[in-house]
Structure 1
Amino acid sequence: MPAPVTRAHLAADLQSLGLPAGAAVMVHTSLKALGWVVGGEQAVIEALRDAVGPEGTLVMPTQSWQLCDPAVLQETPPQWWPTIRENLPAYDPRVTPARTMGAVAELFRTLPGTLRSAHPHRSVSANGPLAETITAVHDLDCPSGERSPMRALYDADGQVLLLGASPAKTTVLHLAEHRADWPGKHLDSNAGPVLVDGKRTWVTYQELAVQDEDFVDVVEAFARETGLMRIGTVGEAPARLLPVRPLVDYAAAWFTTHRAA
């Protein structure tokens, strides 16, 4: 049976992987994949902080898909939709849970000093010197594009860290989709409850129809052709570390070529 995984063990593995001190890093984590972690999600966050140090900024997706228009989710009977739209609580970055992002991200969003962006469905949380810069702009109709934390992370020359998470979860690749062009690229409608001048308001908007079916392929091609992806093991989990700016630049060209084909 594998030994318990400690905070010190995780921090050492992250350093061996090449996670640089002072980095702005977006972390996608499967707690279960890391093994039996002593202290669970709290220890994981503390190990990440140990690795990047006080000058580093941790970033995590804290999305709240439960606030999407029920017509988009297609999880409930259509006759329920008017009631859902009328009664869903407004997005509150301090309170709204990140139900599907995992235990690490859910704890992270609640920590002292963590800031969370304003998008009701695709919020990002950050903690560290660049937290305000990364979370400041997150326009409703641009959940992952040029007016979102993905652009801020790109401008910060950040990193993406996948800890037991599939490359399909690499959210920053949606920024590359915004910059790419392919047949059938289009906008979709969405909606959700937000606070407007302190009042709960149901708002509708148009957003890029994104997809992740080829994210694994583009990450593998990027690693093969550039040699810029670091691969290792953190705890018991496979880990990948990728530089945001070269990855997004590569993926934008790759999507344009391969999706057209």
Structure 2
Amino acid sequence: MSEEKVIQASLSPQTRTSLSNSLIDLGLKEGMIVIVHSSMSALGWVCGGPVAVIQSIQDVITANGTLVMPTHSANVSDPKEWGNPSIPKSWVTTVREEMPAFDPNITPTLAMGSVAETFRSFPDVKRSYHPVHSFAAWGKHRDTIIDHHSLKNGLGENSPLASIYELGGHVLMLGTEYDTNTSMHLGEHRSGVIDTFTRASPIFENGKKVWRTYSEIDYDEEAFPNIGEGFESKHTISVRKIGTSKTTLLFQPDLVDYTAKFLREQVSMNKCNK
């Protein structure tokens, strides 16, 4: 959506102050650990853009809390596996040889939105070392969440998502829906019913670029909206309209547990119906 259309759809400008007040009304508090998914266009026109959105969250949770965002870069991967779009087979060897290794300081996010892309280079923000599934964090538990991110199963047990779970964190969806809710991938892992495959990415080892293979499950967000609908019918969540968007705050461990249970039951039901 163009900025002109966003302005036309907005009844009033959103600001750092108004966003902070709205987030407090939603239930965000000082000291919270929160993983954020956001859509700038859904929020309406924001004075200060992504910077104001980030600062408004920091103002509420303070440095005693922790702000986390997914900063994924799915294109730092084997080009022969790419789709939507794919590249010609004749390009694959050249692209693989010339692809820069993942660097948390300079590798841009891909399809994560302008808030996450801005956040990754914010002061005192640290980004985890995973070529595809990195996360960035700021605040009290930054190092606990970001350090020791496993290359294998990057959204599983040795990931920032699992650390957020153990710390009792929350999920904040600013104008987004469950199809982009990364925490549900941890539920996929814990369901134990998703197939595993191997992928490869270029990383730095001892200052040199190397390609490393690693395993992960076949992540699939297609069922997430349906799972989210069921989750909301059984759990307490907080929902408010902020700007022009629906904004949701929920307890991350509850969502992860519900996702794992749903997927296990779905597989069991499919077996019974055969």
In the TM superposition, 1:5-16 aligns within 5 A as 5-16=14-25
SS of 2:209's partner is: strand
Tell me if the contact between 1:188 and 1:206 (Cα under 8 Å) persists in the aligned partners. yes
Other-structure match for 2:160:
149
Match of 1:233 in 2: 241
Mapped pair 1:54 → 2:74: no
Q: For this pair of structures, how many residues does the alignment match?
A: 258
Which of the numbers 91, 96, 99 marks the counterpart of 2:110? 99
Q: Distance in 2 between matches of 1:13 and 1:235?
A: 9
Structure 1, unmatched stretches of 5+, are none
- Given the alignment, which residue of 137, 142, 160 partners 1:126? 137
SS of the aligned residue for 2:104 comes to coil
Correspondence for 1:174: 185
Deviates more, 1:118-127 or 1:247-256: 247-256
CA distance in structure 1 between the partners assigned to 2:243 and 2:19 by the alignment: 6
TM-score, with length taken from structure 2? 0.91
Distance in structure 2 (CA, Å) of the matches to 1:87 and 1:202: 12
Distance 1:89 1:101 in 2: 20
Residue correspondence of structure 1 range 9-48 to structure 2 within 5 A: 9-48=18-57
Aligned residues: CA RMSD = 1.1
Is 1:243 aligned with 2:271? no
Q: 4+ residue stretches of structure 1 with deviation over 4 A?
A: none
The Cα shift of 1:168 comes to 0.8
Distance 1:59 1:257 in 2: 30
Q: Compute the displacement of 1:216 (Å).
A: 1.1
Aligned to 2:96: 85
Give the partner amino acid of 1:13: S
- Counterpart residue identity of residue 200, structure 1: K
| 2:211 matches 1:202 | yes
Q: Which whole-Å CA distance do the structure 2 matches of 1:240 and 1:117 have between them?
A: 26
The answer (yes or no) to whether the contact 1:144–1:174 under 8 Å persists in 2 is: yes
Instruction: Say whether 1:70 aligns with 2:93.
Output: no
Separation of aligned partners in 2, 1:146 and 1:206: 13
- Paired residue type of 1:5: Q
1: CA distance, partners of 2:49 / 2:231: 32
Counterpart for residue 220 of structure 1 = 229
Q: Measure, in 2, the Cα distance between the counterparts of 1:212 and 1:99.
A: 17
Q: Secondary structure at the match of 1:107?
A: helix
* Structure 1 residues 39-62: Cα deviation after superposition (integer angstroms, max 9, x where no partner): 000100111111212211100010
Kindly provide the amino acid, as one letter, of the partner of residue 243 in structure 1.
F
Counterpart Cα distance in 2 of 1:128 and 1:235? 26
Percent identity over the alignment is 39
Letter in 1 for 2:23: L
In the aligned structure 2, how far is the partner of 1:71 from the partner of 1:206?
Answer: 16
Tell me the TM-score normalized by structure 1. Answer: 0.96
1:140 aligns with 2:151: yes
Q: For residue 166 of structure 1, report the CA deviation from its aligned partner.
A: 1.5
Q: Following the alignment from structure 2 to structure 1, what is the Cα–Cα distance between the partners of residues 212 and 95? A: 14
SS in structure 1 at match of 2:185: helix
Q: 2-side partners of 1:129 and 1:72: how far apart?
A: 38
Alpha-carbon displacement from aligned partner over 1:109-155 (angstroms, at most 9, x marks no partner) = 00111000010001000000111010112111111000111100101
